[in-house]
Every structure is written in C-alpha cells, then in structure tokens.
Amino acid sequence: MTPRPIPVPAPGGTEAPARDSEFARDLLRAFCDRPHRISPKYFYDAAGSALFDRICELPEYYPTRTELGILRAHAGEFAALAGPHAEIVEFGAGSLHKARLLLDAFDRPARYLPIDISAEHLSAAAVHLRGDYPALEVHPVAADYTQRLLLPAHSPREGRRIGFFPGSTIGNFSPEEALQFLRVALQVLRGGALLLGADLVKDPQVLHAAYNDSQGVTAAFNLNLLARANRELGAGFQLERFAHYAFYNAPLARIEMHLVSRCTQVVEVCGRASEFDEGESLHTENSYKFTIDGLRALAQRAGFRPGPVWTDPERLFSVHWLHAPENA
C-alpha cells in the first residue's frame, strides 16, 4: 500500500519553520514516493558523522584501513604527481584524518579546502587541523559538493589544485549521479587532478559483514537518520519500530541499506503523517562497487584522463589518479 499523506494541524495553527528545510522537503517527498528513498547525505549531522567515524574503526569494515594503507604506502608518489605548493580540495571531508597523509607528504602545500555538508563537524575538525599545521591556510567550505561549487579563487602563488575524494563515497551515487559529480569536479580542478578512492567488487560475504557489524554501529548510523528527523524537524519516529537492513545486490553490484518498518504504523514529520505497512522500507543508501576498468571508463566519460591506479595486495580497494585537463 502506498503511504497516504495525511494533513496534521501544527500547534497554534501555524506551520513549523523546519518544514522549509531541504531535509524536511526531501523526507516528505520520500514518504509520498514509492519506493521510498532519501539521499544518504542526511546521515551526516554531527551525531551521524561521529557514528561513521566509529564504523571506520570496526574490524568488519575493511574500506577505511585498506585505503589508509594504500595512501600511506604511496603518499610520496602522490606528492610527486601533485608538485610543489599544491592546493588540496577534499570533497566530503568529514574528520580530515586521511587528508593529513597528503599534507604531511606534499611539498609545501599552499592551502587546504575541506568541503562537507555537516558545518558543525567540519568546523570542529578544521580547528584541530589549524593547530597542527599553523603555516597552512585552512579554508573549510560548508556545502553540498554534489551541486555546482563556488570555491575561493585559485591564487597564482599556489601550485596545482588537487581534488581528494577518498572512502569510495562515489559509490553512494547512482551511475548517472557519479558521472555528474565527476563532471562538476572536473570544472573545479581544471589543470590539476583528482585522487579518488573506489571500493572494488569482491566476495559478497566480505561485503555483507562490512555493513552488518556485530556491534550494531552501522545499524545505529542508519537509524540516526530518523533520530535526526526527530531532533531537527520535530518528527515522531519511534526508532524501535524500524530495523536496519543491508544486503548485496549482485546484479547491480551495490550494497543497499534500508530502514524496514517492523509493523503497520503512522509516522509524522512537519505536520504530515504517512502510513507504513509492516515490511515497507525507506531506502537510505546505495554503495556501488567497481571494477578498475569500469571506474576508469566512467572517469574518461566525464572528461578526466585516467592515470596511475594503486590497490592493496588483496585487491579489496583502489585509489585512482585522474588528470583534469586545463581545457576541460
């Protein structure tokens, strides 16, 4: 049964200001549409970002430690490709941990521009980074990096602009969205390059364990989206009525994450309520897995010129250097 929007009067006959937020509009749209889905970008408020940091430390979650191993092993090669006085632009910066490997290895980096949708989390991380790198100009940008970006002008004293997009976050996009992101990044990075992390196709059991950890942290991360709606939008979600569900969709080469309704219920947000049947889900995330050739072909379609690729010995993860032509 398709959820039916049911008007619920706001207290005092007025609409809550939160209804005007992008989060509120997208959540209401998700309830009205079928199947129900919402962008994973809403995971990353301060609480969600902290939970994701915990996920990255879990024994089942291989991507972070594997990518870090690749970055540490080949940092000198990245630095040589970037050249002196590079400006680093990190998309979806989060806690800025991985960027430190580049900042330590690069030859006198001129400026670091971390971009993230969670302004509070980003600002706190930037304060710590400035303390550790007092000579570095750190210019955090609170923005949705999937949209058109307006960054500070590139100074002549700076070297090449190097984009950094680790963590295989590109896998959270649909193939069409991934292509669009790469085209946006290309315009920002013209004359420079993009250092991109991409998770690889592998044994489904390894993938299943990574998104269904024994400590339940990934489940808490998924459910935090509803908790965030309660905090920010005055929603009435009862979290115990939803279950975290993640599985590998082999034909589409992607992990899917859902929040599944445990019972028939009415959920309310921003003065509207919708009925959910038992077993209906809110699709919260996809995480596509790539082959090396497939990722390089995608980058080439966007206008990049594929360069070197690095992997770990087990070929769980890959890091790509993608040249951004000046005349792109």
Question: Are both 297 and 163 inside the same structural domain?
Answer: yes
Question: Are both 259 and 311 inside the same structural domain?
Answer: no
Question: Are both 297 and 156 inside the same structural domain?
Answer: yes
Within a domain: 14: yes
Question: Are both 240 and 124 inside the same structural domain?
Answer: no
Within a domain: 208: no
Cα angle 147-222-123, degrees, rounded to a multiple of 5: 50
Question: Are both 68 and 176 inside the same structural domain?
Answer: yes
Tally of domains within the chain: 2
Within a domain: 252: yes
Within a domain: 247: yes
Question: Are both 227 and 93 inside the same structural domain?
Answer: no
Read off φ and ψ for residue 249, nearest 5 degrees. -90, 95
Within a domain: 277: yes
State if pTM tops 0.75: yes
Within a domain: 254: yes
Q: What is the pLDDT of residue 292?
A: 98
Question: Are both 251 and 266 inside the same structural domain?
Answer: yes
Per-residue pLDDT of the chain (328 residues; tens, 9 = 90+): 333 333 333 333 334 445 678 899 999 999 888 899 999 989 988 899 899 989 999 999 999 999 999 999 999 999 999 999 999 999 987 667 889 999 999 999 999 999 887 677 778 778 888 889 998 888 888 777 877 776 777 665 678 999 999 999 999 999 999 999 999 999 999 999 999 999 999 999 999 999 999 999 999 999 999 999 999 999 999 999 999 999 999 999 999 999 999 999 998 888 888 889 999 999 999 999 999 999 999 999 999 999 999 999 999 999 999 999 998 6
Question: Are both 182 and 300 inside the same structural domain?
Answer: yes
Domain, as residue range, for 111: 62-202+290-323
Question: Are both 192 and 302 inside the same structural domain?
Answer: yes
Question: Are both 113 and 175 inside the same structural domain?
Answer: yes
Q: What is the pLDDT of residue 18?
A: 59
Within a domain: 143: yes
Within a domain: 186: yes
